[in-house]
Amino acid sequence: MPRSALNLAPAITLENIKDSVSQTKTLENMVPHYFNRSALHIERVQDRIATLCCIDSRWHPGLVLGQGLGASYGMRNIANLANPNDPEMGANLEYLVSHKKVPEIMIMGHTDCGGAEAHMMGQASQHVQVWVNNVIPAKGSGAERTRILTNLKSSCPDDYEAIRRQHEKLCLDHSAHQIEQLPFVAEAIEAGHLSIGKMIGNMHAGQLEILCDSLSSLRSSKELIGRFAHFKAEEWKPDLAANGQNPDALIITGISPYLSPEKLFGIQPGDAFIYRNLGGRYNYTGSSDGLTAAIEFAVAKGVKEIIHVGSVGDVNQSFADGDLDAFSLVTEFLDKGGLGIKGAGLAQRDVQQRVSSGVVNSVKAHPAIQAAGDSISVSSIVKEHETGALLYLDPDHDDFRTISAPSVAI
């Protein structure tokens, strides 16, 4: 039965959450930051662009490109890939290009990409290997590649690094190619409404390399790229790549410009992997889709928390209301998981409750999470745009509770 805000379960404090969840290090930092409203400002860039970036914990686009809250849409997955066999890619892009009519999609790769390296070496885990192979088919046997490249890494490390840089650029080129093949994307490019840009962030030197063939096509993203200097001066710490990465959390969220975890929750370089898709959705089926691969990768890297971040009244609500029926790839993707939200006349919080529960249950069904037991906690928090409230999905009742503002905000 739909509930109103009046009969929502009682509020919960951050201390209560800490008592009920085994791992909360990242969540403990995110919540007070959310309530420190002085750090938030909504920014409207003339034409909102979309970025496609890696989940890497050290190179967050919101920080690197100085994207304020509201400035750009953000897709993120392992190695910034556009996988033609993953329904998520078509849904993300149909929503952005056909519905939101973004003028530019900027794919930002980065040096020292762990996902790209594991695939190149033939050492990626099961789902990661299958998922990346859909974009860049591996050449030859994995064991042979591993042997040759391992030898090269120790005997000629500079040559090894040069091959890695080539592979990272290959990821970019293949992704751009896959995106351009989609009929509605090709149409928008042909009509002059859309351009695809490519760049690579160098995490050793703190540099952005804009690939030559895309210089002329840069339009709206110039404004954001221009703010890189601020990141370099204020937030970049040399050398980001030197010590690898061991973040505590994987954050799963939507592509909305208002859901940037860097801005909303103060995520800093090294804090968390961040995965972003349309609606912040996950439906575990056992196939090697982008998020199944990302969870496998993150768990292997030692994360202790998987945190879903939702938003009441977002694209899931538009889908439930039937407002996205004209977009078949979007509706097919958002219809997965048997949530029963479409046309059900549910209250907005109830739509999001079903989405959040669906994600949490799917993450818990992932074999890597099952194997980890209590050593990894899975939680969902949700922002309510209209009221500014932050909600917590209470696992004991499968219901939202409003999180009380911490008495001392940072």
Of 84-92, 105-113, 185-193, 379-387, which part binds Zn ion (CB under 5 A)? 105-113
Complex with Zn ion: residue 110 or 383, whichever CB lies closer: 110
Shortest separation between residue 242's beta carbon and Zn ion, angstroms = 16
> Cβ 56 to Zn ion, closest distance in Å?
4
Task: Kindly indicate which of the ranges 47-55, 120-128, 276-284, 377-385 contains the residues binding Zn ion, using the contact rule CB under 5 A.
Answer: 47-55
Q: In terms of CB distance, is 274 or 363 closer to Zn ion?
A: 274
CA–centroid distance for 63 within its chain:
14
Token pair belonging to 161: 């690094």
Q: With CB under 5 A, what is the number of residues at the site for Zn ion?
A: 3
- Please, what is the minimum distance in Å from the beta carbon of residue 243 to Zn ion? 15
Q: Which of 50-58, 282-290, 291-299, 393-401 is the region at the interface with Zn ion (rule: CB under 5 A)?
A: 50-58
Task: With beta carbons less than 8 A apart as the criterion, state whether 90 and 278 touch.
Answer: no
Can you give the chain as a three-state secondary structure string? CCCCHHHCEEEECHHHHHHHCCCCHHHHHHHHHHHCHHHCCECCCCCCEEEEEECCCCCCHHHHCCCCECCEEEEEEHHHCCCCCCHHHHHHHHHHHHHCCCCEEEEEEECCCHHHHHHHHCCCCHHHHHHHHCCCCCCCCHHHHHHHHHHHHHHCHHHHHHHHHHHHHHHHHHHHHHHHHCHHHHHHHHCCCCEEEEEEEECCCCEEEECHHHHHHCCCHHHHHCCHHHHHHHCCCCCCCCCCCCCCEEEEECCCHHHCHHHHCCCCCCCEEEEECHHHCCCCCCCCCHHHHHHHHHHHCCCCEEEEEEEECCHHHHHHCCCCCCCHHHHHHHCCCCCCCCCCCCCHHHHHHHHHHHHHHHHHHCHHHHHHHHHCEEEEEEEECCCCCEEEEECCCCEEEEECCCCCCC
Question: Interaction with Zn ion in 203-242: which residues (CB under 5 A)?
Answer: none
Using CB under 5 A as the binding rule, whether residue 248 contacts Zn ion is answered as: no
Any idea which residue has 């990141």 for tokens? 231
Contact string 2-41 vs Zn ion (x = CB under 5 A)? ----------------------------------------
Instruction: Choose, by CB under 5 A, the member of 97, 106, 108, 113 that binds Zn ion.
Output: 113
Residue 56 or 86 having the CB closest to Zn ion:
56
Measured CA to CA in angstroms, residue 302 lies from 249, 371, 374, 375, 384 at distances of 9, 13, 13, 10, 31
Binding segment for Zn ion (CB under 5 A), chosen from 89-97, 106-114, 127-135, 331-339, is: 106-114
Stretch touching Zn ion by CB under 5 A, among 108-116, 181-189, 275-283, 313-321: 108-116
- Let me know the angle formed at the C-alpha of 89 by 86 and 90, rounded to the nearest 5 degrees: 100
d(CA 298, CA 216): 37
54 vs 194, beta carbon nearer Zn ion: 54
Name the segment binding Zn ion (CB under 5 A); options: 109-117, 141-149, 200-208, 310-318: 109-117
| Nearest CB to Zn ion, comparing residues 56 and 394 | 56
Which region, judged by CB under 5 A, interacts with Zn ion, from 35-43, 112-120, 290-298, 382-390?
Answer: 112-120
Rounded to the nearest whole angstrom, what is the least distance from the CB of residue 379 to Zn ion in the complex? 25
The nearest distance, CB 199 to Zn ion, in angstroms, is 14
Closest separation in Å from C-beta 333 to Zn ion = 23
Q: How far is the CB of 61 from Zn ion (least distance, A)?
A: 12
Q: Which stretch binds Zn ion (CB under 5 A): 21-29, 111-119, 324-332, 397-405?
A: 111-119
Identified binder of Zn ion from the candidate list 17, 56, 63, 289, rule CB under 5 A:
56
In angstroms, what is the minimal distance from the CB of 167 to Zn ion?
11
Name the burial class of residue 78, with classes exposed (0-12), middle (13-18) and buried (19+) by CB atoms within 10 angstroms of its CB: buried
Query: Least CB distance from residue 74 to Zn ion, whole Å?
Result: 15
Name which of 4 and 243 has its Cβ closer to Zn ion.
243
Nearer to Zn ion, 56 or 104 (CB): 56
In the complex, the smallest distance separating the C-beta of residue 153 from Zn ion, rounded to whole angstroms, is 18
The binding site for Zn ion (CB under 5 A) comprises 54, 56, 113
